[in-house]
Amino acid sequence: MAVMPDVQAQAQMQDSKEKPVVVFIATGGTIAMKIDPVTKGVVPAISGDDLMQSVPDASKYARIEVNNFSKMSANYITNDWWARLTKLVEQTLARPEVAGVVVAQGTDTMEETAYWLDLTVKSSKPVVLIGAQRNASSPDFDGPRNLLNAIRIAVTPEARDKGVMVAMNNEINAARSVTKMHTAAVETFQGGNYGWLGEVWDDKVVFSRAPLRRMHIALTTESFPVVHIFPMYAGADGSFIRYAVDNGTRGIVVQAVGMGNMNVSMFEAVKYALSKGVPVVVASRVPNGRTYPLYGFDGGGKTTFDAGAVMSGDLSAQKSKILLTLMLQGGRADREAIRKAFEN
């Protein structure tokens, strides 16, 4: 006697085939860690596949593919690591059945990875970065919620053309403006004066705005220029800037104070770098606001700008380093091109 197919099972299979694909790229971080019973320290312990087991509801929204890219992103992140991730994300998004990509990594450098990908990945499809502030041994582990929310964002039509986003604690932030503001709180990622792009509710994903200040810089090399960040602080003497210039650095970011001010010693070192053809970008250690050539004393933002440095605007020092690195790898070392990129 012929066996009749299970109609409900067939319907479920068909429904699954019609769902979009979301690719989950796991790169390590606290979201993939547990407490080691011997050392009592938090260490890498679970894979991307393990994480997916913690969010069975994901299948309601998409077919999930897992790529275990790396185990501990904080140790591995370099320009080369980012370049490999860019290539993987672009290849993945080029597949017509893929609706979007979710990347999990450590929160300490997540804002940098988000901005790098926002600059280098060219696609209208969403890329959503997530992590966790609490490790997988914690009873209130925040990783599963962030992962499920990111998958829901990735298949939401309104998420297209929003660039790379960071989705933590039900909040969606843009790659350019997002910053980690607290070492341990789950509400650590904030967009500063710009606020969220949107938020995730139990029933839907809601966007309130779109990021306007975006650009694309193609990767043109596998060998990236060396760019360093040097902070301004009481007693800074600029000696490390001079050392870096004499030892081959291709670009310098000064994390200045206020709107872009520094002491005379740092200012003299900046002029030395500029005299050697090394571009200098001046950022601020203040989380909100922008650098601006206002103060005219030696080391003030205006004198540094007039000497040839570029103001970072509202970009942090770490994001300024990324933008300057990508400009230099693309062969754009002249001040005017760099200035326009930072003013974009």
Check residue 108 and report its DSSP letter. Answer: G
Give me the residue label for tokens 């870096």.
244
Distance CA(157)–CA(100), nearest Å, equals 10
Strand, helix or coil for residue 191: coil
**Phi–psi pair at 63, nearest 5 degrees:** -90, 125
Element (H, E) at 104: strand 98-104
Q: How far is CA 120 from CA 20, 160, 163, 215, 220, in A?
A: 24, 16, 11, 9, 10
Separation CA 113–CA 130 (nearest Å): 11
301 close to 259: Cβ distance less than 8 angstroms: yes
Tokens of 78: 């370099």
- Cβ contacts of 118 within 8 Å, gap of 6 or more: 127, 163, 164, 175, 176, 214
The whole-angstrom distance between residue 263's C-alpha and the CA centroid of its chain comes to: 31
Cβ(272)–Cβ(242) under 8 Å?
Answer: yes
Helices (runs of H) and strands (runs of E) counted in the chain: 11, 16
Identify whether 291 is a catalytic site residue: no
Q: Are 168 and 179 in contact (CB under 8 A)?
A: no
Active-site pick, 27, 30, 156, 179: 30
Cβ neighbourhood burial of 295 (10 Å; 0-12, 13-18, 19+): middle
Paired residues of 282 in beta bridges: 254, 311
Active site positions, annotated: 30
